Structure 1
Amino acid sequence: MGQEGTVVVGVREQEGEEEVQTWNQRKQAQILQLSEKLNHGDLESQIEAARDIRKLVRKSSSSSSSSSSSSSSMKTRSRLAAAGVIQPLVFMLVSPSLDAREASLLALLNIAVRNERNKVKIATAGAIPPLVELLKFRNSSIRELATAAILTLSAAAPNKPTIVASGAAPLLVQILCSGSVQGKVDAVTALHNLSTCTEEDYSAILDPRAVPPLINLLKECKKYSKFAEKTTALLEILSKSEEGRIAISNSDGGILTLVETVEDGSLVSTEHAVGALLSLCQSCRDKYRELILNEGAIPGLLRLTVEGTAEAQGRAHTLLDLLRDSPQEKRLASSVLERMVYDIAARVDGADKAAETCKRLLQDMVQRSMEHSLSCIQHRAASCTSSDIPSA
């Protein structure tokens, strides 16, 4: 490129930088104007400003090229927070005007998305108590916007204990039971976020009423999806209580849906699903073993011992041991079991290696059975006292 061409490029770059700088100055002036309206304007001005904030963030996300739009929208959110718009928007959540509440909800949602610092700022400004009150609204639009807001704020770890303490979880379970499809999806994700707050007792977050809608949602979604992973995680938590186990077994297709997830789920969802089944069987083998076997759990569990995560493999082995003690499993002909294991091995490793994999799996099952029997004998022997042994 000649000297003239270099000069032209340099001039264009300078013009481009000046154009961006001018645009940023205009945007900053607009942000300050919106903040002024929110902090000092009348209600109509505040509603208008809240709506304009939403438009501004959305425009920042879509107007730039794909490579820079994310950065632009992040800067816009940060500048809005720095300009002091969060607190007046939170105050609007308790306004008698439904329009004000809706406008502030949408503005806060747009400010919080993909910005952890803003999520914490919104919670610190006192947004959670009024959002929880909005979860009780009969107005479905407001209620579902509040659910989306709780979901967004619950993604930030510092907010989780505050949200749980506010009493939001039982209301999210209500939405899970009776809300729209989108409301249920948001409620599941919010409850999943809160369930990772290890400082809290799970009983404060989930109750057995959540089981039937969770089972129904798991039936309808793709078993390998991220949503299935969240749903099965919640079901595994619920399976740790007697009430939750009863709800799972009483739900229409509850155990079958978990078995299907073991067969078709992702690594994460299969781990949670087999964990839930294992909780059932360990709590009362006589009650749950036949129910699990009747839904055809054996093939999926055998596959999981080969393909699952280390945790899932261990759970599958343990559950297979529990199921193998049942009369139905004893009646299972060895040739049928071998054929079943071979088919699974062929799908996993291909036909050329299926025989070798099948042999290894069957040997492992025999070995584990022998170890289990030996452990039982040793346990009985250790429990015997000298008075139990007949004298010579």
Structure 2
Amino acid sequence: MEEEAMLKKEEENDDEEDEKGEEEKEEKLMQKSTINRIIMEEVVGRLGNGDLKEKIEAAMAIRKLVRKSNSKSSKSVVRSRLASAGVIAPLISMLQPSFPLSAREPALLALLNLAVRNQRNKIKIVTSGAIPPLVELLKFQLGNLRELAAAAILTLSSAAPNKPTIAASGVAPLLVHVLCSGSVQGRVDAVTALYNLSSCEEDPKLVLDPEAAPPLIDLLKECKKYSKFAEKTTALLEILSNSEDGRIAITNVDGGILTLVETVEDGSLVSTAHAVGALLSLCQSSRDKYRELILREGAIPGLLRLTAEGTPEAQDRARILLDLLREPPPENRLTSSVLERIVYNFAAHVDGTDKAAETAKKLLQDVVQKSIENSLSHMQLRTSSPFKDSIN
């Protein structure tokens, strides 16, 4: 009984301590909330009415407020509260050329931190006029600001309502420049931003400069063909393949067609569909020009597998491409009945209708014999060559 009483008393003490702990926790949270509210009010005041130094300090404080939050939910709350407090407009004004670079960078970082994982803030930043100054920052030839601007475009373009505004700003060529000459992270951000804009359903549609082909091919070579990044890269290459200049650029890149063929073999359902789409675009534009180039890279096995394992769209594309890769071209193939009729008409014209049947028979025999000889010759060439064309 005495032990039971002691245990009960200990339990009561634990309950009291737990209750006390909860009260202390709530009090700390309230204190922290009050402190954050005071800081936010100070930040808003300095952004709106402070001198240049105070504005810069306020922008840096916004970034710290978001980053020091302990969880995703608390970060989201801070982002929403800061936006509601009116920090977005003054931060965008700090991106203008009238402000020094020392002010534009912290303002851009603050906006980035407000936009991440917050759809409402992304839309508000764009509707508040952030895109024109970001476009100007993208025109910088070198430096951190250009790549920060690319990262901002990437983040903002992930919100569907923002895509038409961003696409219409003329940002695509500038992102291609980052793709060609930026750091690894800058190039990755440029690809993702361009990919986001490519899904814009409104005009203007994304048009890519052919100079995007080499860096896109290089990035596709380096990444895993089934990765999300490969899906974005192949989507852009398929867009490039829709223009003659783009097709030439892809073909001129060392290993360009081979990289697409490898993606057909090893890619995800999405990246294989884009890769076969690009190859099909090449071959449809000029079968004579691209057929051998594609066959030389060993495309047949991957295409055959894709007809069974790909998405419905990829399967259709693979079948059409396989048909184009066959010899002779599909449009020149003749059924036996059509061939017989052509030969008969020719024989009747030469020898008259009385002897037409006999003459036609001899001509057809000659055609068949010649075809057999050509096939045997072709097979000998294939067996003596390291490259074997598995489609006749």
Classify the TM-score, shorter chain: 0.7 to 0.9
Bigger drift between 310-319 and 114-123 goes to 310-319
**1:379 and 1:133, CA in 2 relative to 1: closer, same or farther beyond 3 A?**
farther
Who is 1:27 aligned against?
A: 36
Who is 1:105 aligned against?
A: 108
Which residue of the other structure, out of 43, 51, 69, is the alignment partner of 2:52?
43
AA at the equivalent of 1:230: K
Aligned-pair distance for 1:214?
Answer: 0.8
Aligned-pair distance for 1:5?
Answer: 4.1
Equivalent positions of 1:159-178 (< 5 A) are 159-178=162-181
**Is this contact kept in 2: 1:128–1:166, CA < 8 A?**
yes
Who is 1:142 aligned against?
A: 145
**1:379 and 1:282, CA in 2 relative to 1: closer, same or farther beyond 3 A?**
farther
**Is this contact kept in 2: 1:53–1:107, CA < 8 A?**
yes
AA at the equivalent of 1:318: I
Count of matched residue pairs: 336
Aligned-pair distance for 1:131?
Answer: 0.5
TM-score normalised by structure 1 residue count: 0.80
Bigger drift between 170-179 and 316-325 goes to 316-325
Who is 2:371 aligned against?
A: none
User: Is residue 135 of structure 2 the alignment partner of residue 132 of structure 1?
Assistant: yes
Equivalent positions of 1:316-331 (< 5 A) are 316-325=318-327
**Is this contact kept in 1: 2:168–2:204, CA < 8 A?**
no
Aligned-pair distance for 1:302?
Answer: 1.7
CA distance in 1, matches of 2:334, 2:30: 78
AA at the equivalent of 1:116: Q
User: Is residue 65 of structure 2 the alignment partner of residue 56 of structure 1?
Assistant: yes
User: Is residue 271 of structure 2 the alignment partner of residue 235 of structure 1?
Assistant: no
Which residue of the other structure, out of 18, 22, 27, is the alignment partner of 1:13?
22
TM-score normalised by structure 2 residue count: 0.80
AA at the equivalent of 2:185: Q
Q: What SS does structure 1 have at the residue aligned with 2:249?
A: helix
Aligned-pair distance for 1:310?
Answer: 2.1
**1:86 and 1:201, CA in 2 relative to 1: closer, same or farther beyond 3 A?**
closer
Aligned-pair distance for 1:19?
Answer: 2.0
Q: What SS does structure 2 have at the residue aligned with 1:222?
A: coil
Q: For structure 1, list consecutive stretches of 5 or more residues without a partner in the other structure.
A: 328-371
**Is this contact kept in 2: 1:290–1:326, CA < 8 A?**
no
CA distance in 2, matches of 1:176, 1:318: 32
AA at the equivalent of 1:145: L
Aligned-pair distance for 1:200?
Answer: 2.4
Aligned-pair distance for 1:162?
Answer: 1.0
**Is this contact kept in 2: 1:289–1:326, CA < 8 A?**
no
AA at the equivalent of 1:189: T
Q: What SS does structure 2 have at the residue aligned with 1:27?
A: helix
Who is 1:245 aligned against?
A: 247
Q: What SS does structure 2 have at the residue aligned with 1:96?
A: coil
Which residue of the other structure, out of 263, 266, 269, is the alignment partner of 2:265?
263
Q: For structure 2, list consecutive stretches of 5 or more residues without a partner in the other structure.
A: 1-7, 355-392
Who is 2:85 aligned against?
A: 83
Bigger drift between 169-178 and 228-237 goes to 169-178
Who is 2:3 aligned against?
A: none
Task: Show CA shifts across 1:129-172 (max 9, x none).
Answer: 00000111134111111111111111111111111111111111
**Is this contact kept in 2: 1:304–1:312, CA < 8 A?**
yes
Aligned-pair distance for 1:84?
Answer: 0.6
Aligned-pair distance for 1:125?
Answer: 1.2
CA distance in 2, matches of 1:124, 1:378: 66
Task: Give 1 or 2 for the bigger CA radius of gyration.
Answer: 2
Q: What SS does structure 1 have at the residue aligned with 2:68?
A: helix
Report the RMSD for the aligned CA atoms in angstroms. 2.7
Task: Show CA shifts across 1:28-58 (max 9, x none).
Answer: 2111111111011000000011111111111
**1:91 and 1:287, CA in 2 relative to 1: closer, same or farther beyond 3 A?**
same
AA at the equivalent of 1:307: E
**Is this contact kept in 2: 1:134–1:146, CA < 8 A?**
yes
What percent identity do the matched residue pairs reach?
A: 66
**1:16 and 1:285, CA in 2 relative to 1: closer, same or farther beyond 3 A?**
same
Runs of 4+ in 1 over 6 A off after TM superposition: 378-381, 387-392
Which residue of the other structure, out of 171, 193, 196, is the alignment partner of 2:196?
193
